[in-house]
Amino acid sequence: MNFVNMLAMTDREERILDAAKRVFARYGVERTTMSDIASEAGVSRQTLYNTFTNKADIVRGAIRQFMDTTVARLEKTLPELSDLDTQIDEMFRLIVIEPYDQIAQSSYMEDLFALIDEAAKEEMASGQARFRALYAKVLAPHEAALQKSGLSVEGYADYLQRASHNMKHAAVNAGHLRELLATLRRSTVALTTDRAA
């Protein structure tokens, strides 16, 4: 199954991926068997193997599911938020903080990264590009202010996405992550405020 080119997941795929994440959180990826996942999802092993060929395939699907869900949530909520400050806060919450908190809550979630193969890396890169496009969308109304600082919307969107993503790895703990993101948000808002007005 090629998740990079998949347009939409079926209900069965969604159900299996949700079940897999629950089982991975309980037992870890390494100790989880395909039978465990099939049982949790309420499907036969044959149905599971017809849908996902192995655990690495499931990990790729879980990455795609996270990206799709997050982008959909942001596309729905961002237009309802009135200013850049709250838009960036919401993006950081969904893209950075929630995944960080989920990993921190399960000692087994870390071993998911052992199954991230080249296809999963492509899936992650595709998702990160979608996040950059959302950052660019919220920054677009502030293009003139960014240009005064010698920055482009696309370049700064790339910076925001990469900086916020890397903060998950650099943060000492959840509180530190939130402080780092708050500093990035405040500096972005200050940079995009047109002081000539």
- 84 with 145: CB under 8 angstroms? no
pLDDT of the residue at 6: 41
Contact 76/134 with Cβ under 8 angstroms?
Answer: no
Whether the Cβ atoms of residue 91 and residue 137 lie closer than 8 Å to each other:
no
pLDDT tens by residue, 153-180: 999 999 999 999 999 889 999 999 999 9
**Mean pLDDT estimate for the chain:** 87
Output the six-digit token pair for 90. 């919401």
Q: What average pLDDT does this structure show over 18-42?
A: 90
Give the global pTM: 0.83
For 33-42, 43-52, 62-71, 97-106, which range has the lowest pLDDT when averaged over its residues?
97-106
How confident is the model over 41-51, as pLDDT tens digits?
Answer: 999 999 999 99
Mind listing the domains of the chain with CATH numbers?
Answer: 11-192 (1.10.357.10)
Rounded-to-integer distance, Cα 21 and Cα 29, Å: 9
Residue pair 140/177 in contact by the 8 Å Cβ criterion? no
Whether pLDDT at 113 is above 80: no
- Give me the percent of the chain exceeding a pLDDT of 90: 64
